[in-house]
Amino acid sequence: MKIIYHCYGGAHSSVIAAHLHLGNVQNTSPSVKDICNLPRFDKTADTAAGQLFFMGRDENGDEVYILGLGSNTRIGVQLIKSLLRYYRIPDHEVLLVFTLPATRMFSRLGGFISRVLKLAPVGRPLVAWDVKRCWNDYVTLVREAKSQKGERQ
């Protein structure tokens, strides 16, 4: 099975969710520095929209990916579902999880400052601080994704 965490830029909320899923970070809130140091955190360029990145395999051997779909999430998701239908891949083989609902305003602002304005020293800590504030939302999101995954298998 493949789990795809997707958000706007594929640089922040999806990365955090993927790390939580893979157990690379604990459910208890980490420090801002730890968040900044997570692999791929605040790394994806805004030109990489649509590109899947493989983050690792979880405890069940399922593949975890991250993806940024820009402002047109619906169109991207419809294309993915079209391709799954075309290749006759059953629904339970690929789970799409939208991670943007776990974010708040400062994550989006910081993400914009870092990735679009290219001011990572300002934007990165701002996102990380906001991620820390919303940590429980991420934990809930990933827990729900995992239970959804379990139901499908």
Which spans of this chain sit near another protein (rule: CB under 8 A)? 2, 48-52, 54, 63, 65, 67, 69-70, 72, 74-84, 86-87, 89
C-beta of 86 vs 105, nearer to another protein: 86
C-beta of 44 vs 126, nearer to another protein: 44
CB contact at 8 A, 81 and 51: no
Residue 72 C-beta: closest distance to another protein, Å: 5
**Biggest distance spanned by C-alpha atoms of the chain:** 45
Q: Cα separation of 66 and 53, whole Å?
A: 5
CB contact at 8 A, 114 and 123: yes
Residue type, position 39, single letter = P
Q: Cα separation of 12 and 26, whole Å?
A: 17
Residue 107 C-beta: closest distance to another protein, Å: 21
C-beta of 34 vs 63, nearer to another protein: 63
CB contact at 8 A, 55 and 19: yes
Residue 22 C-beta: closest distance to another protein, Å: 17
Residue 29 C-beta: closest distance to another protein, Å: 32
C-beta of 60 vs 82, nearer to another protein: 82
Q: Cα separation of 89 and 107, whole Å?
A: 34
C-beta of 27 vs 78, nearer to another protein: 78
Residue 8 C-beta: closest distance to another protein, Å: 12
